Structure 1
Amino acid sequence: MNEHDQYMADFMTVFQGLERWGPGCDTDTLKALSMLPTIPTKILDVGCSKGFSTRLLAQHTQAQIVALDNEQSALDELGACLTELGLDAHVTLSCASMTDLPFAPERFDCIWSEAAVYIMGVEQALTQWRKLLTDSGFMVISDLIWLTDNLSQEAVAFWEGEYPDMQTIEKRLGQMRQADFDVIDHFTLSEQAWHYYYQPLKARVAEVKASMPNSNAIADIEREIAIYEGYLGEFGYHMFVLRKGA
């Protein structure tokens, strides 16, 4: 196994044992849904991982939902959960890349993506995903943003390496309007959204670290946890609720 493959294997050893693969909570997802002026009927959930948002959208709308992720194991877990909840008739699972979505133009009236859009970049997603929306369709995305101008060197150095396109709220809003989206509303995710992600992650790292003491993946995850514990408030996840313009 080469170095990259070993890194990814270690990374998945940690994350396969977790429910959430990014910050988020039910309250924030439902808050964003409540901001939509009409309830969508055809939703694409991009980068759904194990499907917390998918399940909520299926429970709180009558929409037909496509849940998309490129990790089949996460989709398998989501599928089993949906069947157990009796929601499987509402949701189609799709294993594909968010950068090459296999759908016809104007297929959906809402595209949803929590804690995943950074993978391809916000501006690219706005341009590419827009084509899949019906006229006046909605896009709801959460993105990691800077919350202050008074930034610590440690936080800047870390996120410049992990997410060099990280921006302020105003910069993102400008990009969204430039891409012909109307901004319906936006808000910063609660501290609880981070707690639900990082507390289980920290516990999982402690659980597996002894079995992989020299893992680069473990070291990187521990650095991220330290940045979260030391500097949350300088940065955060922000939810943007958008409507496709004319």
Structure 2
Amino acid sequence: MYKISELAKEVGLSRTALLYYEKLKLIIGRRLANGYRVYSELDLQRVRLIQQLQLGGLTLKECKVCLESKIDKALVKQRLLALDEEIAQKQQARNLLAAIVGEGDLKSWHERLDKLAPDMHLDWLRTQGFSDKEALRLKWLSKDMNDHELYMQDFMKVFQTLERWGPGSEDDTKHALSLIPKPPSKILEIGCGKGLATTVLAQCSQAQITAIDNEQPALDRLIQRFATQGLSTRLETCCSNMAELPFSPESFDLIWSEGSAYIIGVETALTLWRPIIKNQGYLMISDLVWKTNSPSDQSIEYWSHQYPDIQSVETRIKQIKKAGYQVIANFPQSKAAWLNYYNPLAERLNELEPEMSDSSAFKDMTNEVNICTKFADEFGYHMFVLAKV
């Protein structure tokens, strides 16, 4: 026989727990003449059997049913499904924690968080010590804060000899500029890169140009380009975050952004940039859009990770009008603009393959070239010439 304290010690439960067992009639104690409550060996074994059933997720009441009648297999199957779900959640949690400490891949987690809470994602990355520039690069390029530095080193190695960092052509820039109803006097170019479009804007207008980018080496290249062409007096540069532009309201009569608005989101850009455009001023943006209503599964899969906000032209135009703009003109970027970027990039990747084939950045860029070459008829950049209303 076991006193309640002795039984509690044997099974690792408290006195209160055993009294609750007894209340549910899982065990049955009896009192001795001296008033002590005692339990039998069978009670001890019943508690141990109950503990084993509880390991399967059964409640005490469900354990009682199992002890008093045949096992309810439907109930057990229900508990099994619940346990499988819990295990899957725990495994997901473990994978995330392991990835955060550098023992796994964080890409899918960053992508999922960016869809669910894009602004908080960027704020959290800043809290982890990333600058605005690096947080945006991590969001769009490396997607893994543990391997970000190495990824960006490899990424910049590929691009260090390339003139273009995205699709574009002088003819497309000239054509879009020709659609601006009034000659601009002050242009702000956002995301100028090395200044290929900036040069066209300067050559085809008399405007004073302010060019911003978050890459100072690119701005240095632009300054050098303008100095060589004798255009320095018409250029100002600013290394800045396009989401926090340091300009007063109505500072420019034209904002120009080729292939960069996506970085902070097209709808966000339309809203944030509008106040610094003069009344009756203009905005030109280009953005990646679907060119078909039935893209291939490969294209959908690729862009769901690389640019989840890719839209049709019609959807973008609705967003543009809602943001307070009139669409003056819109046209697809030329095939030449696409090839101006992807042909040199493919050649550069072939050149570096012997030494970089194991690099994550190299693999990502190779995949991009393959997708964007094979399915180029399904998506591409589109240029929108807008008036502030």
- TM-score category, normalised to shorter length: over 0.9
Aligned to 2:221, the other structure's residue is in SS state helix
What amino acid sits opposite 1:51 in the alignment? G
What amino acid sits opposite 2:204 in the alignment? H
Select 2:240's aligned residue among 96, 111, 125: 96
Distance 1:58 1:124 in 2: 27
Aligned twin of 1:119: 263
Q: Return the offset for 1:93.
A: 1.0
Pick the structure with greater CA Rg: 2
Q: Return the offset for 1:204.
A: 1.1
Distance 2:350 2:376 in 1: 21
Aligned twin of 1:229: 373
Structure of higher RCO (CA pairs closer than 8 Å, 6+ residues apart): 1
Q: 1:52-109 CA deviation, whole Å, 9 max, x = no partner?
A: 1100111111101001100111111111111001111111111111111111111100
Q: 1:212-236 CA deviation, whole Å, 9 max, x = no partner?
A: 2211000000011011111011101
Select 1:169's aligned residue among 313, 329, 332: 313
Identity of aligned residues (%): 49
Aligned twin of 1:185: 329
| Unpaired segments ≥5 residues, structure 2 | 1-144
Q: Return the offset for 1:157.
A: 0.5
Note if 1:50 corresponds to 2:194: yes
Note if 1:131 corresponds to 2:282: no
Distance 1:54 1:176 in 2: 24
Distance 2:214 2:160 in 1: 14
Note if 1:238 corresponds to 2:389: no
Q: Return the offset for 1:49.
A: 0.3
Give TM-score scaled by structure 1 length.
Answer: 0.98
Aligned twin of 2:178: 34
Distance 1:163 1:217 in 2: 17
Select 1:143's aligned residue among 287, 290, 306: 287
Distance 1:2 1:168 in 2: 34
Distance 2:146 2:372 in 1: 30
Distance 2:331 2:166 in 1: 17
Question: 4+ residue stretches of structure 1 with deviation over 4 A?
Answer: none
Note if 1:108 corresponds to 2:277: no
Q: Return the offset for 1:140.
A: 0.2
Instruction: Give the alignment's Cα RMSD to 1 decimal.
Output: 1.0
Aligned to 1:13, the other structure's residue is in SS state helix
Distance 2:345 2:311 in 1: 25
Q: 1:112-133 CA deviation, whole Å, 9 max, x = no partner?
A: 0001111111000000000110
Distance 1:86 1:229 in 2: 38
Superposition pairs of residues 214-225 of structure 1, within 5 angstroms: 214-225=358-369
Aligned to 1:131, the other structure's residue is in SS state helix
Distance 1:65 1:50 in 2: 14
Q: Return the offset for 1:2.
A: 5.2
Note if 1:154 corresponds to 2:311: no
What amino acid sits opposite 2:330 in the alignment? H
Aligned twin of 1:19: 163
Which protein is richer in helix relative to its size? Answer: 2
Note if 1:208 corresponds to 2:352: yes
What amino acid sits opposite 2:316 in the alignment? R
Aligned to 1:160, the other structure's residue is in SS state helix
